Amino acid sequence: VKVELGERSYDVVVGEDALDRLGDHIRQLAAGGRVVVISDSTVASLYGEHALSSLRAGGLDASLLSFPAGEPNKTLATASSLFDRLFALHPPIDRDSVVVALGGGVPGDMAGFVAATALRGLRWVQCPTTLLADVDASVGGKTGVDHAAGKNLIGAFHQPRGVFIDVRTLRTLDDVQLRSGLAECVKHAMIRDKSLLAWIDERAGKISEREAESLAELIARNVEIKASVVAADERESGVRAHLNFGHTIGHGIEAQAGYGAITHGQAVALGMIAACRIAERRGLVDVSLRERLASLLDALGLDTRREGLDADAIWRIMQHDKKARAGKVRFVLPTAPGEVDLFDDVEEPAVREAIANLG
């Protein structure tokens, strides 16, 4: 799949042997022959050797740097420790060196941030290993780290030169993480592609069984959707905001639950249902869309209800969201299956009603 960004266009390759071919893929890019793989501890132990041997077989001089897995480690302190190790490598890295991000969204954002800032910018490629990173983080060029004041507050846009997705890596991913990525797939279908909604419905069983062909097709179709949205609006001034469908209330639910209590995708799944409810009450869509969404999420193993949501806390968090501009909460609401629009006039009672309806 091609991500069209003018001079910064790149390909996303989806296949069953992408890691085996990594060395071949990036040999041309790494003119100086020097490659640094950045990964987290879990993924490094599962796939680090595989990536290194593929790069070395391609004639490249490859090193692996890893940091402890998990969102709490996506910090400037971790980036700083990676810089220390990066600049201590022998032979030293230079502007021709290439960074490879190996892992989920956390190593992706971290390696991308290191690549964006080391020596004022190194070329980089991504080898995502979670479904979330495959269909979401691999397209768009957002890189960064968290700050105590909030997630992803420090970072840069830095487009990779290529993305190589090896669907075999999804075999070791746990069910909870797989489902988190599936929620983003449903989101893409809801905002752009009603035929994908039907396709996911039909393949829900095969997808949950992780049948390689179904996963590869799912990923390719989702990357296409995300790529087309990003190509239309790289810096998020307009239609890219559609990707926030389900995220306004979803982020509130995620933050209120606290780190690790609920996955991002599960929170987004609930947020999408709440957004459908709001749209329904405004007469934009009828109840059948929410019912269809809920049955699809359910078939994929995602919860469609959650007890004990605190509407006050969620509403407060929503208003402090980085994406809320001038105190206004901007909503992405469905207008038909596979279509959404932006709304700036959703009032607090409608949001509370939709949250209460999730319980």
Distance from C-alpha of 10 to C-alpha of 23, rounded to nearest angstrom: 17
According to the binding rule CB under 6 A, does residue 43 interact with ligand NAD?
yes
Q: Which of 158, 187, 251, 290 is catalytic?
A: 251
Q: Are 168 and 16 in contact (CB under 8 A)?
A: yes
Active site residue 158: no
Q: Among 102, 101, 113, which Cα is nearest to 146's?
A: 113
SS3 content of the chain, % helix, strand, coil (to 5): 55, 20, 30
**Cβ at position 213, least distance to ligand NAD in Å:** 18
Active site residue 2: no
Active site residue 151: no
According to the binding rule CB under 6 A, does residue 74 interact with ligand NAD?
yes
Distance of CA 257 to the CA centre of its chain: 20
Given candidates 130, 159, 214, 244, which one binds ligand NAD under the rule CB under 6 A? 130
# chain residues binding ligand NAD, by CB under 6 A: 29
CB neighbours of residue 2 within 10 Å: 12
Q: Which of 74, 123, 179, 184 is catalytic?
A: 184
Active site residue 120: yes
Distance from C-alpha of 64 to C-alpha of 318, rounded to nearest angstrom: 39
Residue 60, classed as helix, strand or coil, is coil
According to the binding rule CB under 6 A, does residue 177 interact with ligand NAD?
yes
Given candidates 78, 126, 169, 214, which one binds ligand NAD under the rule CB under 6 A? 169
**Cβ at position 283, least distance to ligand NAD in Å:** 32
Given candidates 55, 69, 267, 355, which one binds ligand NAD under the rule CB under 6 A? 69
Binding to ligand NAD, residues 109-128 (CB under 6 A): 109
Contacts of 122 (CB under 8 A, 6+ apart): 93, 95, 97, 98, 99, 115
Q: Which of 25, 34, 123, 142 is catalytic?
A: 142
Given candidates 1, 86, 113, 136, which one binds ligand NAD under the rule CB under 6 A? 136
Distance from C-alpha of 215 to C-alpha of 169, rounded to nearest angstrom: 11
Active site residue 240: yes
Distance from C-alpha of 81 to C-alpha of 69, rounded to nearest angstrom: 14
According to the binding rule CB under 6 A, does residue 133 interact with ligand NAD?
yes
Distance from C-alpha of 257 to C-alpha of 253, rounded to nearest angstrom: 6
Residue 124, classed as helix, strand or coil, is strand
Q: What is the CA radius of gyration of the chain?
A: 20
Contacts of 324 (CB under 8 A, 6+ apart): 318, 330
Given candidates 35, 42, 183, 218, which one binds ligand NAD under the rule CB under 6 A? 42
Residue with smaller CB distance to ligand NAD, 246 or 290: 246
**Cβ at position 272, least distance to ligand NAD in Å:** 16
Question: Applying CB under 6 A, which part among 56-64, 136-144, 240-248, 312-320 lies near ligand NAD?
Answer: 136-144
**Cβ at position 259, least distance to ligand NAD in Å:** 11
Amino acid identity of 182?
Answer: L
According to the binding rule CB under 6 A, does residue 172 interact with ligand NAD?
yes
Distance from C-alpha of 188 to C-alpha of 191, rounded to nearest angstrom: 5
Report, as residue numbers or ranges, the catalytic residues.
Answer: 120, 142, 184, 226, 236, 240, 244, 247, 251, 264
Residues found near ligand NAD in the complex (CB under 6 A)? 40, 42-43, 46, 69-71, 74, 103-107, 109, 129-130, 132-133, 136-137, 140, 142, 151-152, 169, 172-173, 177, 180
